[in-house]
Structures are given as structure tokens and as C-alpha cells.
Amino acid sequence: MPVVHHNIIKASSPLKCFQINLRHSRSAELNLAQLIIDLDIDVVFIQEPFAKVSSLSSSIELNFIPPGYVSFHSLSSEHAFGSAIIIKASLNASLCTSA
């Protein structure tokens, strides 16, 4: 019987994920930023984030992104409601869009 070898990379630790609905609350976003740091969370799925229009570029800003993390969202000044994902920058995540 032939032996089949698979290239399997075992992670040193499991991925820590967190999901939350912020209900557009600024105080909830500030608490979330600290929680992300304290618990060393890798990926955060956020519904109804607190978002505001930037005074410089008129784009939507999420102000609670901790250092070392990146965010992905499709919020706009016309549609400031929705969801966002915050990911640890060291995971090298990127946004995939459909054509």
C-alpha cells in the first residue's frame, strides 16, 4: 500500500475570534478596543459598529482599531450601517472582492 504524505502546518495556537454587536455605541467601541488587546484576539466580527464621517476625506472612520490591527468594511457616508472585521495585522489578511 503506498504511503501518502501531506504537507500539514500545525498552528502553534488556535485562532481567537470574537463576535459582537456594538449597536452604534461609542462607549462599547472603546471597551472593545481594550478587550481586543487584553484577550489578544486575532479576528473580531462586528455588527453595527460606531462609525463617523472623516472631516478630512469624507470617508467612514472606525476609531477603535487597536495598534497592530487592520479593519475591513464597506461602510460609506451614504450607508454607515453594516458590519466590519478587525484582524491582527500579523495574519496578513487582505480583502477579496467579487468582480
Inside any domain, residue 98: no
Confidence band, pLDDT 50/70/90 cuts, at residue 6: very low
Inside any domain, residue 32: yes
Query: Would you call 91 helix, strand, or coil by DSSP?
Result: helix
Predicted pLDDT of residue 22? 87
Inside any domain, residue 58: yes
Supply the DSSP string of 18-79, one letter for each residue.
EEEE-TT-HHHHHHHHHHHHHHT-SEEEEES---EE-TTTSSEE-TT--TTEEEEE---SS-
Domain that holds residue 38: 17-91
Query: Would you call 89 helix, strand, or coil by DSSP?
Result: helix
Chain segment 18-56, per-residue pLDDT in tens: 999 988 888 888 889 899 999 999 999 998 887 776 666
Inside any domain, residue 70: yes
pTM over 0.85: no
User: How many domains, in total, are found in the chain?
Assistant: 1
Inside any domain, residue 83: yes
Inside any domain, residue 10: no
Q: How far apart are CA 15 and CA 31, in angstroms?
A: 21
